[in-house]
Structure 1
Amino acid sequence: MVTYSRVQGGDSKELLIVNNDGTLSWNNNFKKDHNLNVTTSQEHSQYFQNKRGSDSYIVDFEVPKYLDDLIKENAISQKGYKNNPLNQGGVAPKIVDDTVFQKHGFSGVAYETPDPINKWLIEYAQNAEIRK
């Protein structure tokens, strides 16, 4: 299993709901095809939470390694994304905040995941919890 995190609240949309059984659900106040920004870095999630304000919080969850591998294998830079033929018609995940990772020496990677990958993250998430 691989741990992913998402910052919500404050200046970030609360797209995910953490269920009592450790699974995730989509917040029905938003369209289900909304892109989902996530990170595999605890340092990056803390950094981003500090930018989003005191009302923000972090949702941590685990996904199977094969889903993480699929995301890694298909992810491309957000720079030039629209004109990159590897964007697969807009369904490839974007690698985001790479300059923040380089500047601060964070491990991991941050993604913006479009539909259907955003739905797969929610469907296969386990052990979800809120970290303040």
Structure 2
Amino acid sequence: MEGNVTYRRVQGGDSKELILVNDDGTLSLNSKWRADHNLNVSTGKDHSTYFKNKRADSYIVEFDVPQYLDDLIRENAISQKGYKTNPLNQGRTAPKIVDKGIFDKYGFEGVAYELPDPISRWLVEYGRNAKLIK
């Protein structure tokens, strides 16, 4: 049986509230969602805690996704540096690795991604065990 990988997103404060946690632990998109919205998420809790502490009135949405979805994201992700001109961006649908400097500076575990559509929608569709961390 495949495992899960925990993802986190900081919302509220200066960050758009793009995903909602349902009573059953699943996720749904906020009605303000647009296909051109990218979803910023991270693995490892240090990064999300860092940004939550920098943004007043923010909170963390924590949820699990299947290992195969994390594998797909990780295997196709490219750096934000030179993203627009990188042919591996797959028409700007490839996941973008962001905030690498913050991970390096503070020794955070995990990785931060900016996920375009349709990957962002898949994350919401397959997200489970979601909870809010205030």
Matching residue of 2:30: 27
Matching residue of 1:52: 55
- Which residues in structure 2 correspond to 1:30-41 (within 5 Å)? 30-41=33-44
2:90 aligned counterpart, secondary structure: helix
Greater alpha carbon shift after TM alignment, 115-124 vs 28-37: 28-37
Q: Give the gaps of 5 or more residues in structure 2.
A: none
- 1:92 corresponds to 2:88: no
User: 2:33 and 2:74 mapped to 1: Cα distance?
Assistant: 26
CA-atom RMSD in angstroms: 0.7
2:12 to 4, 9, 14: 9
Shift of residue 88, structure 1, vs aligned partner: 0.4
- TM-score, normalised to structure 2's length? 0.96
- 1:106 corresponds to 2:115: no
- Are the counterparts in 2 of residues 3 and 63 from structure 1 also a CA contact under 8 Å? yes
2:78 to 76, 79, 98: 76
Identity of matched residues, %? 69
Matching residue of 2:66: 64
User: 1:107 and 1:93 mapped to 2: Cα distance?
Assistant: 18
User: 1:66 and 1:111 mapped to 2: Cα distance?
Assistant: 16
User: 1:100 and 1:70 mapped to 2: Cα distance?
Assistant: 24
1:130 aligned counterpart, secondary structure: strand
Say how many residue pairs are matched: 131
Moved over 4 A (4+): none
